[in-house]
Chains A and B, each alone.
Chain A
Amino acid sequence: MTDTSSEAIDKTRVHQSEAAARRRKARANAERRFQTYGVIAVLIALAALGILIFSIAGAGVTAFWQHSIKLEVQLDEAQIDPEGTRDLDTLRRAPYRTIVRDYIKGMFPEVTERRDVRTLTKLLSTGAVTELREYVLANPDQVGSKVVLHVPVSDDIDMLLKGQIDASLPESDRRVSDQEIAWVRALQDKGLIEREFNRRLFVNSDSREPELAGIWGAVIGSFYTMVVTLALAFPIGVMAAIYLEEFAPKNRFTDFIEVNINNLAAVPSIVFGLLGLAVFLNTWQLPRSAPLVGGMVLALMTFPTIIIASRAALKAVPPSIREGAVGVGASPLQTVFHHVLPLAMPGILTGTIIGMAQALGETAPLLMIGMVAFVADVPQSITEPAAALPVQIYLWADSPERAFVERTSAAIIILLSFLIVMNILAVLLRQRFERRW
């Protein structure tokens, strides 16, 4: 008896002792440390996100404007259309290169050496000649009058004007010579160089010249690819989900299908690309680089996602809805298609949009089926060679020209804004239409 009571007293003393206070303090400190680790982890993740966004946005924002030279030329009828027929073929073959060269030579009459003249013309993009030709072809009635065009400067000069080439470096270390810098400064003093919004980035397709390269062809290619993906993955995914959730008997075959779907959702995307290469291209002989094949491969990748989301949405519809429908005499299929499916639709569409957003950013399978080819035209149909937006980003990131860095970043900003719009749409859809029972 005395033993136990003295022990009890001891324990109280133990809890009030200095050692105990130290232990308590140590435990409280451990608690604080642990919570701090959590905060640090979250901060690291947020910092990674912040650095990612700011470094890409910072590198890309300059690509949205571009420097151009005011080209003020007399469209000499004798030079362009000597016979005065305004025949398109004649207009197409007119010597625009000479017109542009003579214009820029006129700015610097002191330059006579052949080599210097060539360097001088290289201040301008090769697109200057093309754009002048396009202008004349579009406005044949302007021949003989004086026109003002804004044509892009070459990519190196653009980089120089944007301050991305450091003019204080020794001449051998930069891509622009002292002579070129002097010419550019002279043009600036004459007020001929202007900064304008880079619409070429949006309306042009891919080009070897950074100052002319744009994303329009890739956007259209991605659009066609997404149309094919949606047309295949959405009906197949939803129908498979309906069968598995509403009708499938619980047996080994059904289990096998489910295991397959869960695995397909985790198979590396590049493996789907290999499947597309071996089956769609080599066995079925479908066209290479085409949005049709890209869409088919992405559909195979996306439809497990759609199935999983659709099943969750169907499961969320309470059984009372089904019982009510059956009670008024609906057949099992009528129950599902007339009553359950409409109620599950918002959830299904949300899942589909998220799956499509994933597919839109997917690159690796498209590389496998040859969508990395350089395509300078806007595709006209789903069987023509096309680029896609993420592949365009990959191609530009691979290009050595300095000016492609900012364009790659700009293309990423555009791709990310598409994705953000799609995700906001999914969130809105869920908030607006989702019902909780």
Chain B
Amino acid sequence: MTGALIVTLAVLSVIGYYMGRSKSVASVSGEVHQLHSRPGYYGFYVAIWTALPAFLLFVVWQILEPQILRAFVMGNVGPAVSELPPERVDLFYRDVVAIATEGVPSQVTPDHEAAADHYTSLKSLGTWSFVAFVMSLSVFLFAFAYRKVSPTLRARNWVERVIMGLLIVCSVIAILTTVGIILSLLFESLRFFNRIPIQDFLFGLQWSPQTALRAEQVGASGAFGAVPLFAGTFLITIIAMTVALPVGLMSAVYFSEYAGPGVRGFVKPMLEILAGVPTVVYGFFALLTVAPFIRDTADALGVATPAQSALAAGSVMGIMLIPFISSLSDDVINSVPQSLRDGSFAMGATKSETIRKVVLPAALPGIVGAVLLAVSRAIGETMIVVMAAGRSGNLTFNPLDSVTTITVQIVALLTGDQEFDSAKTLSAFALGLTLFFVTLVLNVIALNIVQKYRERYD
């Protein structure tokens, strides 16, 4: 239905383009130079009037339709349903939709079936009247625009204004995305903090989100203290940076100061392959090769280790970050002015002395920025830790132990069977908000440092 509507609109606007264009040419009997704009602009004028308002309406309808439908359907159910607690009402409605769309409802009662019938009839009524409305709007606006086509119509200016508006709307989508992220995370997190106090979440030492089915069971409420997750994330990030920072930084120094063009041209793209490998592949690499290697080594040394150690996840994440740090630091080192190096050489310093005492200190702010960006990547990295780190929240700093991270818990909470609206599901959004906030702060600081650094030498 929706596909057919869009195709019809597209066809109508193409027809509109050609009709508008030929009318403008005909109105000056082929003497195109007498038109205010080139004929194509008259075509676009008609085409835009035909399709754009109808399309916008269509988008708005797609977003509002579910809410409107729900309001109508739920407005019409008996008091037995409407007086249920809110989450039961949600469940009822989702079952109704499942029945109506031939999905799998969790329960079916006569109430459900009546509401589902109501839903189906309303939905088809709504869809058909909407299609009729959109089509008539489109045809009406087409007629309106077609009538207005005349040699004096400033079609180009109008079309260009519309396109300019479109360009601005597209750039504003970046803001809308950020706002959408913040609002959706904040909204769900606030609902979570209504049930679990925020200080318990931020400072609690116990993480076991499994809520029991019956209220009287032991530990029924679950424990939502996120400190073990923060500690695990921190531990894995530290391990990753211990691997990535020396290797990445030294290879950047080597590429920018020592390597000849041949080595640079061949080896650098090889390293960039590492940057293009999907994280799920790194995760599998950790499972397949690194974790067994670490366990066997530890066993040989007589240390008992679990299958999923922080060391395995952290070191593989470090490998992932090597090209990231290397290419950012390479840029930074390259933008240190040659005059600084020349001055140092003139004083008799060797190359390594110049690098250590002049180039690196000069590049330090940029390198710090690169490291902060890498830390932010490490904190937000998901697949490697989901596959190679553990699921249970141990509060430990032993790299051979199994730890869990913020991202692992988000995935664990939101995949598999979710109970809608439970504290367990909502806690994932609180974790997401924490994650977003921390990485945002890191990114803003890092981008600022890098920006200031660039300005200094530009």
Contact = CB atoms under 8 A, between A and B. Distances in A.
Interface of A: 27-28, 30-31, 33-35, 37-42, 44-46, 48-49, 51-52, 55-56, 59, 235-237, 239-240, 242-244, 247-248, 256-257, 259-264, 266-272, 274-275, 277-279, 284-285, 300, 303-304, 307, 331, 333, 357-358, 360-364, 367-368, 370, 372, 390, 393-394, 397-398, 405, 408-409, 412, 415-416, 419, 423
Nearest to A236: B170
9 contacts: A31-B353, A35-B352, A240-B171, A267-B380, A267-B440, A361-B281, A364-B279, A367-B382, A419-B278
Determine which residue in B163, B373, B382 has the highest number of CB atoms from chain A within 10 A of its CB, and name it: B382
B251 A361 contact: no
A270 B173 contact: no
Contacts of A34: 351-352, 355-356
Contacts of B132: none
B130 interface: no
B247 A279 contact: no
B382 A268 contact: yes
Interface in B399-446: 407, 410-411, 414-415, 428-429, 432, 435-436, 439-440, 443-444
Contact of B289 (A37, A55, A362): A55
Interface string B266-303: 01001101101111111111011100000000000000
A285 B103 CA distance: 14
DSSP majority for the A interface?
helix
A269 B247 contact: no
Given A363-B279, A367-B415, A271 B174 contact: no
B284 A27 contact: no
Contacts, number: 258
A274 B322 contact: no
B356 A263 contact: no
A416 B447 CA distance: 31
B319 interface: yes
B239 interface: no
Contacts of B121: none
A361 B279 contact: yes
A343 B387 CA distance: 44
A333 B439 contact: no
A239 B382 CA distance: 31
A321 to B, nearest CB: 19
A46 B268 CA distance: 10
Contact of A247 (B62, B167, B381): B167
A268 B281 contact: no
B180 interface: yes
Contact of B181 (A45, A267, A412): A267
Given A284-B62, A368-B411, 15 more contacts: A31-B353, A42-B267, A42-B271, A49-B273, A260-B175, A262-B443, A269-B380, A271-B436, A274-B184, A274-B428, A364-B279, A364-B407, A368-B410, A394-B383, A412-B284
A185 to B, nearest CB: 30
B109 interface: no
B155 to A, nearest CB: 12
A38 B6 CA distance: 58
Most buried by B among A28, A30, A45, A363: A45
A398 to B, nearest CB: 8
The 6 closest A-B pairs by CB, nearest first: A268-B380, A361-B278, A38-B254, A41-B250, A34-B352, A278-B184
Contacts of B322: 45, 48
Contact of B284 (A38, A300, A409): A409
B323 interface: yes
Interface in B158-213: 160, 163-164, 166-168, 170-175, 177-178, 180-181, 184-185, 187-188
Contacts of B273: 49
Contact of A239 (B63, B160, B170): B170
Contacts of B167: 239-240, 242-243, 247
B156 interface: yes
B271 A331 contact: no
A358 B276 CA distance: 7
B445 to A, nearest CB: 11
Nearest to B171: A240
A260 B174 contact: yes
Contacts of A331: 156, 160
A272 B435 CA distance: 12
B253 interface: yes
Contacts of A412: 281, 284
Instruction: Report which residue of A42, A239, A261 has the largest number of chain B beta carbons within 10 angstroms of its beta carbon.
Output: A42
B440 A49 contact: no
A262 B288 contact: no
A264 B440 CA distance: 9
Contacts of B271: 42, 45-46, 49
A303 B173 contact: yes
B274 A45 contact: yes
Given A257-B174, A333-B164, A266 B439 contact: yes
B279 A274 contact: no
A256 B443 contact: no
Given A236-B170, A248-B171, A363-B383, A284 B276 contact: no
Contact of A240 (B163, B174, B250, B352): B174
B288 A393 contact: no
Interface string B30-51: 0000000000000000000000
B258 interface: yes
A44 B249 CA distance: 12
B380 A275 contact: no
Contacts of B262: none
A244 B171 contact: yes
Contacts of B287: 397
B221 interface: no
Contact of A263 (B250, B281, B443): B443
B407 A41 contact: no
A393 B384 CA distance: 13
B352 A30 contact: yes
Contacts of B352: 30-31, 33-35
Contacts of B356: 34
Contact of A394 (B66, B283, B429): B283
A35 B174 contact: no
B138 to A, nearest CB: 21
B168 A270 contact: no
A270 B288 contact: no
B181 A268 contact: no
A419 B380 contact: no
Nearest to A52: B285
Contacts of A277: 414
A41 B246 contact: yes
A270 B377 CA distance: 11
B24 interface: no
A274 B429 contact: yes
A27 B411 contact: no
B274 A390 contact: no
Contact of A393 (B173, B284, B432): B284
B278 A44 contact: no
B308 interface: no
A284 B63 contact: yes
Given A266-B376, A268-B407, A368 B62 contact: no
